[in-house]
Structure 1
Amino acid sequence: MKTILIIEDEKDLAELVAFNLEKEGYRTITAFDGTSGLEAARAHHPDLILLDLMLPGVMGMDVCKMLKKSEKMATIPIIMLTARGEEIDRVVGFEVGADDYVVKPFSTRELLLRVKAVLRRSLPDKPDGKILNIGAVTIDTARHQVEVAGEEIILTTTEFKLLLNLAERLGRVQSRDLLLKNVWGYNYVGDTRTVDTHITRLRTKLGPAGDLIRTVRGFGYKMEEQ
């Protein structure tokens, strides 16, 4: 049974979300502020976190940053819950490590679809023992591990799948829409900034090897050896 941590200060909303998730077979844990949310994440290591942007005490963005800086919790997928629908909020959320977002007010059906999609993306692929070497980057698909010049780099599941998608199609340009379909598994209508912000974060984590990912202006990205 998958465990979902809900960090939401509106208790009625948190309880409603928990009720609907439990109806779908999930186990839920609720926290009503950032501090207790962090404590619950450390104590229970959930399969997914629903994280409100506006929280008392420690804000949602800061909670996300702290989780993603933790080696033990960095790979836990996070869906941001926000009352704001502005693009800048979505972009900042992705930049600090969120895997998806839902804008309030949201329907139960939409939230469940997002939860299922993110959990599906977080499932490890069947080990096939494939190891890809591209420049200083080594990708071990069986272990879901990435190294740059022999040093392991901690990536989220989405970042790993994005890198692998580009690496397996070395030298071939992938449009933003195609990357959304292949990596995210469902369509963000017109929201290709999702890809751009994840590419930026991925390049940063790869350091100098991030230059292996090339931007094809007006279209998308490709990975090629220098």
Structure 2
Amino acid sequence: MIYYVEDDDNIRKLALYALHQQGIDAEGFSCDSEFKAAVEKRVPDAVLLDIMLPDTDGLEILRRLRADQGTAQVPIMMLTAKDAELDKVIALDGGADDYLTKPFSLMELTSRCRALLRRGGMTKQVSDSLELAGIVLSPSHRRVTVDGTELKLTLREFDLLEYLMRKPGIVFSREALLQSVWGWDFDGGSRTVDVHVQTLRQKLSDHAHLIETVRGVGYRFAEAAE
């Protein structure tokens, strides 16, 4: 179970939805008082923390968790708009295991959460690899092979392929893909998705047909491909 402390309702709900879609148990809290009460009932397997919270600073929560014997070993990732190098150094030196700045893509978030859970010994919660029609994708290693040959993909190409492969046969609109793969604050147009699909198909070569275009709607990964 992951606990996520974030006072922005939209960000928290969207992130929790993305985690649930990937089979990761997660619960959200809008403030430290709610979070503290939940920890007293059940210690989570990992924690996601915003820094600027209404009642207690996220860094103070981090220090408290690290000082408590019951939560000292729980993996913690900071999710915050504070992107200065000094902020990152303070958080990491204070005991954070990871630091992700807003805006972030939901696929990157779920990938990093899987890493946190592995660090905490909870790898059984999610599948470590996907294998469909000769394509093997490993989220933990950020590695893709096609018929045994490794592909060199960019960050977004990898996230896009993973997102489509996790739900073969399901059609996703360009807007849905932008929101899930690029993040809710991405200000580029839907043409970005088309460009990435095109380059991804080029790299997939003989397997390019697996990413199907649904005219007027968006894209899907072939459900039953040879």
User: TM-score when scaled to structure 2?
Assistant: 0.52
Q: Any residues of structure 2 matched to 1:30-49 within 5 Å, and which? A: 30-49=28-47
Aligned counterparts, 1:33-72, within 5 A:
33-72=31-70
Once residues 43 and 185 of structure 1 are traced to their aligned partners in structure 2, the CA distance between those partners, rounded to angstroms, is: 34
Are 1:119 and 2:128 matched, yes or no?
no
Residue in 2 that maps onto 1:217:
none
Partner residue of 1:88?
A: 86
Query: Matches of 2:141 and 2:25 in 1, distance apart?
Result: 24
| Partner-residue secondary structure (3-state), 1:30 | strand
Q: CA deviation at 1:54?
A: 0.6
Q: Does 1:19 align with 2:17?
A: yes
RMSD of aligned residue pairs (Cα, Å): 2.0
Query: Stretches of 4+ moved more than 4 A in 1?
Result: none
State the distance in 2 between where 1:99 and 1:43 align: 23
Three-state SS of the structure 2 residue aligned to 1:62 is: helix
**Tell me, what secondary structure is at the counterpart of 2:36?**
helix
Counterpart code for 1:102: L
TM-score, structure 1 as length reference: 0.52
Q: Which residue of 2 aligns with 1:148?
A: none
Offset, 1:113: 1.2
Query: Contact 2:77–2:96 (CA<8 Å) still a contact in 1?
Result: yes
- Between 12-21 and 113-122, report the one with greater CA deviation: 113-122
> Are the aligned partners of 2:75 and 2:119 in contact in 1 as well (CA < 8 Å)?
no
Q: How does 1:184-203 map to 2 (within 5 A)?
A: none
Name the SS of the counterpart of 2:82 in structure 1: coil
Distance 1:185 1:68 in 2: 28
Kindly tell me: are residues 88 and 72 of structure 1, through their superposed partners in 2, closer, same or farther at Cα, counting changes over 3 Å? same
Find the counterpart in structure 2 of residue 103 from structure 1.
101
Percent sequence identity is 34
Counterpart secondary structure, 2:110: helix
1:28-77 deviations in whole A, cap 9, x for unaligned? 21110122222222222111111001101111000011111100111111
Q: Which residue of 1 aligns with 2:7?
A: 9
Quote how far apart the aligned CAs of 1:26 are. 1.6
Aligned pairs for 1:140-159 within 5 A: none
Cα distance in structure 2, aligned partners of 1:39 and 1:77:
19
In structure 1, list runs of 5 or more residues that go unmatched. Answer: 125-183, 187-226
The 2-side partners of 1:6 and 1:98 are apart by 14
1:117 positional shift: 1.4
C-alpha change, 1:70 and 1:185, in structure 2 (3 Å) is farther
Give the letter for the 1:26 counterpart.
I
Q: Aligned residues, how many?
A: 126
- Partner of 1:49, secondary structure, is strand
Deviations 1:62-96 (A, max 9, x none): 00111111001111110001101111111110122
Q: Which residue of 2 aligns with 1:206?
A: none
- Give the deviation of 1:185 after TM superposition: 7.7
- Distance in 2 (alpha carbons) for counterparts of 1:23 and 1:93: 29
Distance 1:75 1:42 in 2: 16
